[in-house]
Amino acid sequence: MSFICNENLKIAYDRSDEILRSVPYAPNQMIDTNLIVAYVREKYCPVIELYTMSFQKVKSANASMKDCGAMMRIEFDGKPNSASIILNSDMPETFQRFSLMQQIGHLVTLPPDAQLDPDNFHVSTHINYDLSGITEEELENDYYLMREQVANIFALRVLMPDRQFYRVMRELEDIRDAAAFFGLTKDAVISRMMIGA
């Protein structure tokens, strides 16, 4: 099944392209997420604080968050003023790397009329690499799902830039080797193949 090209998802492509034009990266190395965070601080949100902690005992709406990748609190007044991102230290580094960029994706793609409570952390419980199982109707009718997929696409494209991604896939041929090169999971690489250029 091919991935949906929904107009609402265009911002993920636009923002990831902008950042990849502005942040230097070597073709033979994985993207340095610190450079991306520095760019986002300069252009979108002047204060971004990063933390890690175990989510084993954290609860959200009476549900366990041990399988969640991250949570974020944003002070927002038409645009983000500050953000605190907490990554789940119980997750492997590959998942933390993706989760960080997924949260940055939320930060740079927020609509100007977003309603956020600066006193609460927002949890990304739908970090799902498998983008093919989502229908266009679901994206149109579920705002939360659509925002999560925008952030997922942003993260996949920023962490695996087009030219670098296709070169690595040609040279390495094995998905596990490509995943190791990008510092991500095999599922992330498969989803990156689905969204194309």
pLDDT category, 121, cuts 50, 70, 90?
Answer: confident
Does the pTM of the predicted model rise above 0.85? yes
Decide if 51 is inside a domain.
yes
Instruction: Say which residues have a Cβ less than 8 Å from residue 182's Cβ, sequence separation at least 6.
Output: 30, 31, 159, 160, 165, 168, 188, 189
| pLDDT, tens digit, 9 for 90 and up, residues 50-59 | 999 998 877 7
What amino acid occupies position 160? Answer: M
Residues 53-68: what's their mean pLDDT?
A: 74
The range of the structural domain enclosing residue 61 comes to: 7-195
Decide if 1 is inside a domain.
no
Given a cut of 80, whether residue 118 has pLDDT beyond it is no
Q: How far apart are CA 26 and CA 36, in angstroms?
A: 14
Please give the share of the chain, as a percent, with pLDDT higher than 90: 54
Decide if 46 is inside a domain.
yes
What is the domain count for the chain?
Answer: 1
Decide if 23 is inside a domain.
yes
Decide if 2 is inside a domain.
no
Helix (H, G, I), strand (E, B) or coil at 140: helix
Residues 41-46: what's their mean pLDDT?
A: 95
Q: What is the DSSP string of 93-152?
A: HHHHHHHHHHHHHHHHH--TT----TTSPEE-----S-GGG--HHHHHH-HHHHHHHHHH
Query: What per-residue confidence (pLDDT) applies to 39?
Result: 97
| pLDDT, tens digit, 9 for 90 and up, residues 153-190 | 999 999 999 989 999 999 997 999 999 999 999 999 99
Decide if 147 is inside a domain.
yes
8 A C-beta contact, residue 151 and residue 98? no
Decide if 16 is inside a domain.
yes
Closest CA to 188 of 179, 167, 90: 179
